[in-house]
Chains A and B, each alone.
Chain A
């Protein structure tokens, strides 16, 4: 293998359990976003746009959709003879077979992959965030400071700083202190979970910590480097950066795209976001359709009304159906007369005729108030919702549901139907 100055290791094995039924059969990085993309497209596109052509993608939880999405990396120009994208699942060795037990442990288990390229620097990324960032500029900063480790950090409002891992720096941006979710934060620079390590430093730290259980970058590796007195710098990032780890944040980030001038602009020629997509044709808007304030994906057929919503590719909205304040992923079919409000509906789902979703009073979720608490109705991928039922807020549905699953034709606010292992 040819030598690479910097390679990227993209952590994409997480479940993203706070996305509820959206991640019941796909990993969080493979969740659809913005009417076309999947979350992992953002770091992958950032890599190639920053000139990084060697990316290891570490997968573990439900990797099928992710694997087929990445393929051999054609959409991102990452199909290369030397380097390119490599999917790195956990594997069995002659003496042990371990799942990835933490972010740093996952990287440690792929030491040989990194060694092949004999890099000078390794960029650690996660597949959880929506942003555009030039990692090359961050590398320049790393070199300029002769740093051992550089952490990308985002200024957040001071009153919110206590929700983040905060870094405290001196005037040269060298980090002097870390605070994990501090009650009284000393700074408002939040760690974004993006690290550049000089390769010998990373190798040494991972080897030293190899027996640490659930070895994690934030909890173990960075503190270890700090204790050893290494040069750790904070690279301040001032662009758009969104964690879409909860249903509320996910819904909001999608909805922001609908704004007249969205804060996160996907229509620029510069710094394109690439993705794997099957559908390229235009969408059709029917003779009686009404579409306003919406993102409408390729190959859609809209005969009904769509307002303030994001539609993925190949979605069909029948005549008389209304979709409001909602996110529909790919190949969702909303049948005649259905009414959808403030819902997230994942791929390949069919909503029956005259069914109403997202209506009635808000009620606490009986499944998990931590996950389903934004007044949203959430429907997982490959689900079916029958005709003529009414579904309340803070609800969750996954699987092929039938009329008998809805007593009195209703799923009241906060309730859920989850049919596991349903393949039909």
Chain B
């Protein structure tokens, strides 16, 4: 593959509320056994990309732990590899990443030293499958300077958190509005781009000189008339999970057989293996229409829910339409409906958590051993 990958995983969003307190969005647990970034990483490895740089600065500890070896995604070790770049103080820079373009600019030496002619940039907070080699073919065929991967937003999706795109008949992007209050089309940018490495370096250096740090507003939109920017429509499932509603919805989507099959079929999505024993159902389990992940122990009722790794559900509980993240411990006779229960949470016995109008995030930090 003639491209290297960059994953912009620095981001956080107030739309994630309580959930983003502990981690970057890219490190959000996803669909039972993954973290959000696994989708971008797996797409890259499955497209033959050997070198990937992950740029992160917000609460990178979870990510750091997750990305501790390139082995889990089959990236190269000597030829290429997986790199996590957090901001560092150097002789001529002591800033945090001031924006997406700045994050890349601060690692421009890495970009300059590589030999791959193209760069593929993706966020770490999208759930999708994409063959980047097809994207590269398209980019070359169109003789584009930058190609932006676009998707059709679902009906009713709040477009004010996306870049909204308008293309001409040749799929050249003629209008790009970042996070508009009123959207002029339902085609949105997925935050996935491809361009020549030299072009990226040149644009980053220019922007930095001008004190501009944001890739979308300061580069993509600013150069729209000057550079040939094309749109590439992504087929299949795509969802950005950077809000509580979309995060919840995307997890729930995996209860649908077609979505599950889409991601289960080859090429696979990889993740770091956790070495947990298979899930265990004790007498009294009543699980329907749910996903249950390894290491979990179920003793009672679970319905339309996603149970992540190593969750314990006690006796007499009802878990309904909820997402229970890794390692949560749910005592006896607990009622949970329309909730996202944080990782390693403890829900005390005889309690009840119900999301009424919206999904409730349960992050109470109860002391487990007083149960």
Contact = CB atoms under 8 A, between A and B. Distances in A.
Interface of A: 34-36, 74-75, 257-258, 260, 266-267, 272-275, 277, 280-299, 306, 311, 313
A283 B295 CA distance: 12
Interface stretch (B281-289, B332-340, B345-353): B281-289
B112 interface: no
22 contacts: A35-B278, A74-B71, A75-B275, A260-B283, A267-B295, A280-B33, A280-B271, A281-B263, A281-B264, A282-B31, A282-B33, A282-B293, A285-B289, A285-B290, A286-B288, A286-B289, A292-B284, A292-B285, A293-B285, A294-B280, A296-B279, A296-B292
Given A274-B275, A277-B273, A282 B281 contact: no
B170 to A, nearest CB: 40
A109 to B, nearest CB: 32
B264 A299 contact: yes
B317 interface: no
A295 B278 contact: yes
Contacts of A266: 277
B288 A287 contact: yes
A282 B292 contact: yes
B341 to A, nearest CB: 16
A294 B288 contact: no
Nearest to A295: B278
A260 B278 contact: no
Nearest to A294: B281
Interface residues of B, number: 39
Nearest to A299: B264
B275 A273 contact: yes
B127 interface: no
A74 B72 CA distance: 10
Contacts of A294: 280-281
Interface in B243-271: 255, 260, 263-264, 269-271
B294 to A, nearest CB: 6
A281 B31 contact: yes
Nearest to B257: A284
Contacts of B269: 281
Interface in B31-68: 31-34
Interface of B: 31-34, 71, 255, 260, 263-264, 269-271, 273, 275-295, 297, 306-308, 310
Contact of A75 (B32, B273, B308): B273
Nearest to A259: B282
A267 B277 contact: yes
A292 to B, nearest CB: 5
Contacts of B255: 284
A72 to B, nearest CB: 10
A57 B34 CA distance: 33
Nearest to A266: B277
A288 B279 contact: no
A285 B276 CA distance: 19
A295 B32 contact: no
A16 to B, nearest CB: 23
Nearest to B69: A74
Nearest to B299: A260
B160 to A, nearest CB: 33
Given A280-B33, A282-B31, A291 B287 contact: yes
A298 B288 contact: no
Contacts of A290: 286
A287 B289 contact: yes
A352 B287 CA distance: 26
Contacts, number: 105
A306 B282 CA distance: 12
Contact of B33 (A257, A260, A286, A298): A298
B280 A275 contact: no
A267 B310 CA distance: 8
A297 B264 CA distance: 15
A298 B291 contact: no
Nearest to B327: A269
A136 B278 CA distance: 28
Nearest to A284: B291
B287 A289 contact: yes
A291 B287 CA distance: 7
Given A267-B297, A291-B285, A282 B291 contact: yes
B291 A295 contact: no
B85 to A, nearest CB: 25
Contacts of A257: 280
Given A295-B277, A295-B280, 18 more contacts: A34-B277, A34-B278, A74-B71, A266-B277, A267-B277, A267-B280, A280-B270, A280-B271, A281-B31, A281-B263, A282-B33, A282-B306, A282-B308, A284-B291, A291-B285, A293-B285, A297-B278, A306-B281
B279 A295 contact: yes
Nearest to B264: A281
Contacts of A258: 280
A278 to B, nearest CB: 8
Contacts of B287: 285, 289, 291
B68 to A, nearest CB: 12
A280 to B, nearest CB: 5
Which 6 A-B residue pairings sit nearest by Cβ, starting from the closest? A282-B32, A266-B277, A35-B278, A282-B293, A282-B291, A287-B289
Contacts of B295: 267
Scoring A285, A290, A299, A311 by chain B CB atoms within 10 A of each residue's CB, the highest score goes to A285
A338 to B, nearest CB: 20
Which residue of A275, A280, A290 has the most chain B CB atoms within 10 A of its CB atom? A280
Contacts of B33: 280-282, 298
Contact of B275 (A260, A275, A296, A297): A275
Nearest to A277: B273
Nearest to B308: A282
Nearest to A45: B275
Contact of B32 (A274, A281, A292): A281
A121 to B, nearest CB: 28
B293 A36 contact: no
Contact of B260 (A284, A306, A311): A284
Nearest to B306: A282
A299 B308 CA distance: 13
Given A267-B295, A281-B33, A298 B283 contact: no
Identify which of B277, B284, B287 gathers the most chain A CB atoms within 10 Å of its CB: B277
A165 B281 CA distance: 38
A292 B273 contact: no
Nearest to A285: B287
A240 to B, nearest CB: 14
Contacts of B310: 267
Most buried by B among A277, A281, A298: A281
Contacts of B32: 281-282
A289 B291 CA distance: 12
Given A267-B297, A293-B283, A36 B278 contact: yes
Contacts of A285: 287-292
Nearest to B268: A278
